[in-house]
Structure 1
Amino acid sequence: MVVKQVKHWLVTRANAARWRPIQDWAEARGAAFNQTRDGQGFLIEQPKAQPGPLRIEWGVSQRSYLPGTELRMRCEMGLHHDLQLMVLCRTLMENLERAVFEAYTDTLKTRIDTDTPEEMRWLVMFPKFNGAGSQLLRQRYGLVGVTKELTGAWVEGELGEALVQASQDLLPDGHPFVLMCMRGNLYLRTEMTEPDLSRLQAFVRLLECAAREAQRISGRLSEAGAWPTTTSIAWTHSTRPGDAS
């Protein structure tokens, strides 16, 4: 027990030094920085962030399609509950589509489990938007949403430009990445082997951009919502997310 405690203390101390630049950046923003209990990851919480309270985590991946460790973020926005939109790496989209197809055709399964993450279920539930003006945006990302019109409105402005720019350096071709608007919030997940301050800052800027653009189009939804399908309603309300919790 003593050896285990000493080892944990050494790991925690070493990581505290390694992550000092990230901690200093977080605290300069008015956020709280804390290591996870096992000392293998960290959590940043900024309740007064703009455009909404921000939560950032780095640690062991919660998704099978993100091997090793991941960066995950959540920006609480209070957007219309039916504003359901997703941008993801096109390579990842194709891999998830194959997994969904296999789940459907598996003779031992008659449906996709409610434990299956939204990222996979949305590929079946919602239409893809293929009308982005930027060829690079179409080539590098999959765009999915409750309606094509809303998806297009989300990515055709500042967010689309930010995604194209990110494809040049931040998100190299094939790098697993998911950006989602759901339950009134914005979520981002991406593979990140080691936490790096400059990349973390870039992903925060991308999330904030997506949040502002989602806020801009949220007002287009009436009280009746975005006309989700019956399947969408059933799946959305039958499961809880494995989001940045």
Structure 2
Amino acid sequence: MVVNQVKHWWVSRANAARWRSIQEWVQGRGGSFEQTADGGGFLVEIGGGGALGPLRIEWGESQRSYLPGHELRMRLSLGLHPDLQLMVVCRHLMEELERAVFEAYTDTLKTRVDTDTPEEMRWLVMFPKFEQAASQIVRQRYGVVGVTKDLCAGWIDGEFGEALVQASQDLLPEWHPFVLMAMRGNLYLRTSMAEADAARIQALVRLLESAARAAEVLSARVSETGAWPTTSSIAWSHTTRPGDGA
């Protein structure tokens, strides 16, 4: 027991130095920083400021099979219209997930995609793809799906699309797994991150905030015009919550 306590103390001290720049950035934004109990990751909580809501950031072992090793997870609580369901995903990852969904459908032992399958996989079947993004780079590097193509266009063409173009240069290089979703009134981001890096985390927060500003405009539009037509697939997407910590 004493040996384990000493080991945990050393790990905590080593991580404190390892993640000091991240902790200082979080504290500078008035947030809290905690290491996980096993010392293998951390949890950040930052209260809402300005037009944006509370932000939760986690770094640790991946909770998705398509993200090997460690991942960064973010949840930005915004109170968006519940029918605002949109996703942008690395194109290579989208193709990989589509193959997995196809195999699930064609498996002789399965007649449907299981309800515990993550939304990011089910949405590729449920929602239309938007292939007409104004930016050629966005079209080449990312896949976009959502409850309607009109909403996809409103989200991806503008500030958020420009931010994705910038991110494709170094923050999100080709083949790097990345998913950003608007659902249940919040924004969720997942991406591979072998080692927690303060500069990359801050850049991803800025990307998430750009997506949030665009989503809030769309949410207001949906609220003014009423809910979008309900379909069985849309209802299905609300029946389960993904097993994420973010």
TM-score greater than 0.5 by the shorter chain: yes
Question: Which residue number corresponds to residue 184 of structure 1?
Answer: 185
Q: Is 1:227 aligned with 2:229?
A: yes
Amino acid at match of 2:123: W
Amino acid in structure 1 at the alignment position of 2:231: T
Q: Name 2:31's counterpart in structure 1.
A: 31
Q: Deviations over 1:29-72 (max 9, x none)?
A: 00001111111101110123341111011001111100010001
Q: CA deviation at 1:229?
A: 1.9
- Name the residue aligned to 2:119: 118
What letter corresponds to residue 181 of structure 2 in structure 1?
M
Equivalents in 1 of 2:161, 2:30: separation in Å?
A: 29
- Larger deviation, residues 53-62 vs 2-11: 2-11
Displacement of 1:227 in angstroms is 1.7
Cα contact 1:73–1:244 (8 A) shared by 2: no
Task: Please tell me whether the aligned partners of residues 187 and 243 of structure 1 are also in contact (alpha carbons under 8 angstroms).
Answer: no
Q: Tell me which residue corresponds to 2:6.
A: 6
SS class of match (1:96): helix
**2: CA distance, partners of 1:210 / 1:184:** 13
1:127 corresponds in structure 2 to 128
Corresponding residue of 1:41 = 41
For 2:66 and 2:99, how far apart are their aligned partners in 1?
12
- Quote the residue 1:99 is aligned against: 100
Aligned identity (percent) is: 70
Distance, in Å, in 1 between the alignment partners of 2:79 and 2:141 is: 29
- Distance in 2 (CA, whole Å) between partners of 1:231 and 1:161 is 31
The aligned residue for residue 143 of structure 2 is 142
How far apart in 2 are the matches of 1:212 and 1:242?
Answer: 26
Contact 1:67 1:191 in 2 (8 A): yes
How do 1:202-217 residues align onto structure 2 when only pairs under 5 Å count?
A: 202-217=203-218
Aligned-residue CA RMSD (Å)? 1.1
Question: Secondary structure of 2:216's match?
Answer: helix
User: What TM-score, normalized by structure 2, do the two folds share?
Assistant: 0.96
Q: What whole-Å deviation, never above 9, does each CA across 1:16-41 have from its counterpart, x for those lacking one? A: 11001100110010000111111110
- Report deviation, 1:224: 4.2
Q: What per-residue deviation string (whole Å, max 9, x for no partner) do you get for residues 148-185 of structure 1?
A: 00001001010000000100010000100000000000
Q: Secondary structure of 1:187's match?
A: strand
2:59 maps to 1:58: yes
Residue 14 of structure 2 aligns to which amino acid in structure 1? Answer: A
TM-score normalized by the length of structure 1: 0.97
Gaps of at least 5 residues in structure 1 are none
Distance 1:35 1:142 in 2: 34
Question: Which secondary structure does the structure 1 equivalent of 2:56 belong to?
Answer: strand
- Larger deviation: 217-226 or 34-43? 217-226
* Partner Cα distance (2:157, 2:207) in 1: 15
SS in 2 for 1:240: coil
